[in-house]
Structure 1
Amino acid sequence: MKTLKLIFINALLLLTGCASQYSITENEIENYLNKEMHFEVKQGNQIIGINLVLNDMQVSLGDKPNTMGLTATTLVRIRNPLMPISAELKTTFEAQPWYNSETKSIYLRNLDLVNVSANPADLEQALTAITPQVMSFLRGFLESQPVYTLDMNDSNQALMAKMTKELAVQKGKLVVKF
């Protein structure tokens, strides 16, 4: 009976060509990232240290072939007795999304840093010394965490998770194909 049901579902999907792919929009990925992804680093002590909090991510899909753009806003606080610094660091990466069939999730690889800016702008020079460390933290975190996980409680996404063969980046969306 289970085999018959699976055959029926496959035949139905083949007959309805529009059901051969599932799209995930930029907004869906942004909502997932801002809800599910939490990143905070604290190093140092009460007098000297650094605190990084990732609090906002924006996604851009398809501006370049097979590329996802990700802009992350990170609050940076540097404690020191001479000149404490508090700034917002905006980093933009480009990466290739890929689908992991074991975890039913989409991850990023080959992250390239495209742009870094600070607010207030006059702190960019002061933040230059810590920028490589911040980028290392962010790159490691973003490459190891899923940017989207298919919802196994949603019947469409659960079916896509089982049958996904390819992930394509199109303007404004990721297309999960089977």
Structure 2
Amino acid sequence: MKKFLLATILGLVALLAGCSQLSEFSINESQINNYLANKVKYEHKVGISGFADADIQLANLKSEIGRSEPGKVALTGEATVKLDSLIGKADAKIELTLTARPIFDAKTGSIYLKELNISKYKVIPENMDTAISAIIPYLNSSLETFFETQPVYVLDANNGAAEATAKKLAKGLEIKPGKLIIPLVD
């Protein structure tokens, strides 16, 4: 009798665990990072024409979901900058932290970042900080526009049955530490 009761309880636990997989689809930081590395390329020229122009390439983007700020995604990365200003030409690297609110577009199965902000940055070499700080507002605006139109993840029906189902039945987006949850039922 005890074995039957134990088997029944284990069966119910397994059934309940399986039901959560049927009611939601999750995307973890590793999946977002892989998508960012393979599909997202930011190369842009920003600045004030004739005063300071900067060719910027963003690389090594890594995501942190809902950890540093609830309901937000943080992206860290490096920007290489080729600055051409009135005082001459120079190269620098900026270590950036971007924070934004993820938004899910159910029609396309895409996750975008809205309300993006450069929350922290460090310029290397440090003597370039003054010159780079002049272009940070333009870089912030450019990155905000970029991530409003460039998804950080797109559900792909070719990535298996679970992702295909999520693309068809998605009902929104929830942010939990380390993952984005796409509910499949109301």
For the superposition of Structure 1 and Structure 2, which TM-score range results when normalised by the shorter chain? 0.7 to 0.9
Judged with a 3 Å threshold, the aligned counterparts in structure 2 of structure 1 residues 82 and 122 are, in CA distance, closer, same or farther, namely: closer
Provide structure 2 residue ranges, at least 5 long, that are not aligned to the other structure.
1-14
CA distance in 1: counterparts of 2:63 and 2:18, whole angstroms: 30
Deviation at 1:82, TM superposition (A): 4.5
Match of 1:51 in 2: 55
How far apart are the structure 1 equivalents of 2:83 and 2:117?
A: 25
Alignment equivalent of 2:25, drawn from 16, 22, 27: 22
Cα gap change, 1:133 to 1:159, in 2 (>3 Å): same
Give aligned-pair identity as a percent.
Answer: 32
Query: What is the rounded CA distance, in whole Å, between the counterparts of 1:43 and 1:97 in structure 2?
Result: 24
Q: Show the 5 A alignment for 1:114-133.
A: 114-133=119-138
Aligned to 1:3: none
1:105 to 110, 117, 136: 110
Mapping 1:29-178, distance limit 5 Å = 29-42=32-45, 49-63=53-67, 64-79=69-84, 82-153=87-158, 154-178=160-184
Secondary structure in 2 matching 1:118 = strand
RMSD: 2.4
Give 1:43 deviation, angstroms: 6.9
Task: For residues 67-95 of structure 1, give each alpha carbon's deviation from its aligned partner in whole angstroms, at most 9, with x where no partner exists.
Answer: 11112321100135843211111222221
Q: Which runs of 5+ in 1 are unaligned?
A: 1-12
CA offset digits 1:12-58 (Å, max 9, x no partner)? x99941221111111110110111011112479xxx85311112211
* TM-score, length-scaled by structure 2: 0.79
The 1:78–1:149 alpha-carbon spacing in structure 2 relative to 1, beyond 3 Å, is: same
How many residues in Structure 1 have an aligned counterpart in Structure 2? 164
Q: Determine the structure 2 residue equivalent to 1:9.
A: none
Letter in 2 for 1:130: I
Q: Name segments (4+ residues, structure 1) moved above 4 Å.
A: none
Change (3 A) 1:161 1:83: same
Q: If you compute each CA radius of gyration, which structure gives the higher value, 1 or 2?
A: 2
TM-score, normalization: structure 1?
Answer: 0.82
Render the CA deviation track for 1:95-114: whole Å, top value 9, x for unaligned.
11111011111111122331
Q: Given residue 170 of structure 2, which amino acid in structure 1 is its aligned partner?
A: T
